[in-house]
Structure 1
Amino acid sequence: MRKWAVIYSSTTGNTKAIAEEIAGTAGADLFRVQDAPADLSAYEVVALGYWLRRGGPDDLMKAYLPKVRNACVILFQTHGADVGSEHAVTSFARAAYLLGANCEILGTFSAQGKLAPALIARRKKSDPDDTHNSPEAQERWVRAADHPNEEDRAAAREFVHKMEHKLDLLEKFRRAQEAKAHAKLS
C-alpha cells in the first residue's frame, strides 16, 4: 500500500469512525485536523474527512483545505442527509473548491451519520415550514440515528481497496504513456 495520511474533523464521532476505518485499512497515519501536519509531501494519498455544516465542510476543515497543495486527495464526509442526495453531492464540490493549488481528487466517500441531539432539539423548535424541520427531515433523522453502522464501515474499507486499485491503474496508464513518448523519441 501507498503512504496515506487521513485527516479528519469530528464532533459527534461519526467522521472519526469512518476516518479510523480508512486509516486502519490503508495503514495510514491518522490526524485530527487540529493536529494535521503542514507538510504533506511525504504522503502519496491525503484523505480529508469532515462533517457537513451548512452544505459544506465544517469550519475546522474549511480552514485546513486551502493549505493542502500538490496532493492526491480523497474527500470523505458524514452527514444527516441521505447518501447520494443533492445536499451530500454538492458539498463535495464545495470542499474541492477550497483545496489548495495542484490537487488531484482521486475519489469521494460519503456516509450517513447521526445528528447531534442538540441540533435535533434546535430544529424541532424551528418554524414548522422550515425544510430542516419538515416531516421528511424528521424521517432522515430517524434513518441517520444508527449510522455510521457496520455496513458504512465495511463500505469505507472497500473504498480504500478501490482507491488503491484506481491508483494502480493510473500508474500503469502513465507508464504506458511514458513508454509511447520514449518510443517516439527513439
Structure 2
Amino acid sequence: MRKWAVIYSSVTGNTKKVAEAIAGAAESADIFRVQDAPQDLSGYDIVAIGYWLRLGQPDALTLKYLAKVENARVVFFQTHGAEPQSEHAITAFARAGYNLGPGCEILGTFGCMGKINPELLARRQAAGPDDPHGGAESRERWERAAAHPDAQDLQAAQELVSRMEHKLALREKYLAKQVAKMTK
C-alpha cells in the first residue's frame, strides 16, 4: 500500500474537487491545501500536486511550494480554462516540473478544464479580438469550462491513481529483475 500526499491550491473549488477525487481513490492518502502542506514529504511514496493556472504556469502559492519539494515521486494535476490538450495546458506541466526542487521524479500528469474565477472572467469579458483571451472563440471555451470538472473528469482523476500505482509496480518488478541479473 503506497502512501499518497495530495496537495492542492484552489480558488474556485475546481482543483479541490480533483484533489478529493485523487485522495479518495488512493488506499492511503493525506490531503493538504498547499499553504498547509508539509515540508518533509519523506513519509510519502507519491506526492500529487494540483494547481490552477496563472499566466500559463502554476499559481504563485504552488510555485513557491514546488521549489521546496525534493526527492519525491510527483504527479501533477491542474485545472484551467483552456482545452486539456492545448499548448497552454501542456506547457504549464513543463513549467511546474521546471520549478520542482532537486531529486524529483515526475510519474504522470492529469489536467482538466475548470470554471474560471468570476472576477477574472469579468475582466476578460472586455478583452478585444486581438487579445488572446478575447473574442467569440474564448467565450465559447469559457462556457465549456464552466461545466467542469464534471463527473467524467473526476472519474479520470481517480483512474490516474490506479495508473500511477500500476506504473510503479511495473517499474519495481523490472528493477528487481535487473538486480537479479546483476547478482548472478
Q: Scaled by the length of structure 2, what TM-score is found? A: 0.97
Distance in 1 of aligned mates of 2:52 and 2:132 = 20
User: Which residue number corresponds to residue 159 of structure 1?
Assistant: 160
CA drift of 1:68 comes to 0.3
Q: Secondary structure at the match of 2:31?
A: strand
User: Which residue number corresponds to residue 123 of structure 1?
Assistant: 124
5+ long unaligned stretches in structure 2? none
User: Which residue number corresponds to residue 84 of structure 2?
Assistant: 83
User: Which residue number corresponds to residue 9 of structure 1?
Assistant: 9
Q: Secondary structure at the match of 1:34?
A: helix
- Written as runs of structure 1 = structure 2, the 5 A alignment for 1:94-113 is 94-113=95-114
CA drift of 1:182 comes to 1.0
Distance in 2 of aligned mates of 1:95 and 1:144 = 22
Identity, in percent, stands at 62
User: Which residue number corresponds to residue 19 of structure 1?
Assistant: 19
Distance in 1 of aligned mates of 2:132 and 2:64 = 28
User: Which residue number corresponds to residue 174 of structure 1?
Assistant: 175
CA drift of 1:128 comes to 3.4
Q: Is the 2:53–2:92 contact (alpha carbons within 8 Å) kept by the matching residues of 1?
A: yes
Distance in 1 of aligned mates of 2:106 and 2:182 = 25
The alignment's C-alpha RMSD in Å is 0.8
* Matched positions, count: 183
Distance in 1 of aligned mates of 2:127 and 2:113 = 23
Q: Scaled by the length of structure 1, what TM-score is found? A: 0.96
Distance in 2 of aligned mates of 1:106 and 1:128 = 38
Q: Secondary structure at the match of 2:115?
A: coil
Letter in 2 for 1:100: G
User: Which residue number corresponds to residue 43 of structure 2?
Assistant: 42
Letter in 2 for 1:80: G
Distance in 1 of aligned mates of 2:132 and 2:147 = 22
Moved over 3 A (4+): none
Distance in 1 of aligned mates of 2:127 and 2:156 = 35
Letter in 2 for 1:168: A
Distance in 1 of aligned mates of 2:54 and 2:118 = 15
CA drift of 1:127 comes to 3.0
Q: Secondary structure at the match of 1:111?
A: strand
CA drift of 1:151 comes to 0.4
Letter in 2 for 1:37: P
User: Which residue number corresponds to residue 60 of structure 1?
Assistant: 61
